[in-house]
Chain A
């Protein structure tokens, strides 16, 4: 009897292995947000971080000339902007004092390098070279010079995982300027987003700026997110479906900033 059982398992070892491995994969997939799985991912990031960093450093060094040219151009542009904003800031300060407004606290930013990104265009998370030892916490917002990118969704000792706004599971509470309309933003493929729940009484137009609403505990208000491109009536007849493009080019993220709250 025992021999027959052993023979059965031996003869069917391919099918049994396949079913077992498919089952393990399925469990991993549905439990991928389990803390033990996250620890495993972060452990891999921590182990690979010292190996990957020098390689990235060499790649960046090779790109330095091109980057330098882009930065020089941007510097000229920014210096003009800085002059303009300098005078506006002075004016703003005076007006705030007059109105007894408290000065808003400045963000504390920490730069981080992208260690790895996905192979598939549709899986949108990044491995960053900052972790607990840099005082990074889960849900710290991530941005670059163009706008909001996402948030930290798991932290290891020396690396962390970032969830991007272009992740199928990502949702963001946003405000559309200048109308002040608030809605929920989600990725719509490519560099496009969709905002739902905008009342059709609000004056939302193409070209309007989308910023974070400040209603969430995670993202501070007024961080730039994107530009409205088009709108259409929602099937419910009371709201608009608003489509727009992100300000950040998610295909070219090399360095990011993490906001300490």
Chain B
């Protein structure tokens, strides 16, 4: 990545984190908020080297927990680091270079992120997995996934096709 590219992406990451932090309430629909950090992670994983992407995923998750979920610090870096690793592995598969497959993989990872996050939180609660899925994971996934698809329509995942 060139220096100009680094500055551009750095500013973009800061901007999106600021939007999520300062305008969290405006993004709220019936208590559901999107995970913009995850969208950044997907885009940056396609632009960084594999090792950089994994470290970026960890720090992004860490920052997210510090800012938004301090009571479960560690959960977001855990899920995001794992997702970052999976993304770097997928990016090396030639099939994911086809736009539809890259978007589909990203969507599946967003779903995985929301399901695992909520499942871990509710594991000791007297509620069923289906309840958590329908009331928490699925609405959050649809919101984040929808925003990702909108972004993906305008900005391709691969920087070389921009």
Query: What is the interface of chain A, defined by CB distance below 8 A to chain B?
Result: 13-14, 17-18, 21-22, 24-32, 37-38, 40-41, 44, 48, 52, 55, 59, 116-125, 127, 153-154, 161, 163, 167-169, 186-190, 194, 250-251
Contact = CB atoms under 8 A, between A and B. Distances in A.
Contacts of A251: 28, 30-31
B125 A14 contact: no
B88 interface: yes
Contacts of A31: 74
Of all A-B residue pairs in the complex, the 3 with the closest CB atoms, nearest first, are A29-B74, A28-B74, A25-B78
A123 B58 contact: no
Contacts of B158: none
A13 B52 CA distance: 11
Contact of A17 (B54, B67, B125): B54
Nearest to A28: B74
A194 B126 CA distance: 9
Interface in B9-31: 20-22, 24-25, 28, 30-31
B58 A25 contact: yes
A28 B73 contact: yes
A188 B32 contact: no
A237 B126 CA distance: 18
A186 B126 CA distance: 10
B42 interface: no
B81 A40 contact: no
Given A119-B35, A189-B125, 11 more contacts: A24-B77, A25-B62, A25-B74, A25-B81, A28-B77, A37-B73, A119-B34, A121-B33, A154-B70, A169-B71, A189-B122
B51 interface: yes
A194 B34 CA distance: 28
Given A17-B55, A21-B58, A119 B64 contact: yes
B14 to A, nearest CB: 13
Contacts of B140: 120-121
Contacts of A167: 71
B139 to A, nearest CB: 8
Interface string B27-67: 01011111101000000000000110011011001101011
A52 B21 contact: yes
B162 interface: no
A250 to B, nearest CB: 8
7 contacts: A21-B81, A116-B21, A120-B118, A121-B140, A250-B31, A251-B28, A251-B30
Contacts of B58: 21, 24-25
B57 to A, nearest CB: 8
Nearest to B70: A41
B72 interface: yes
A247 to B, nearest CB: 17
B117 interface: yes
B88 A121 contact: no
A117 B20 CA distance: 11
A116 B64 CA distance: 12
B69 A121 contact: no
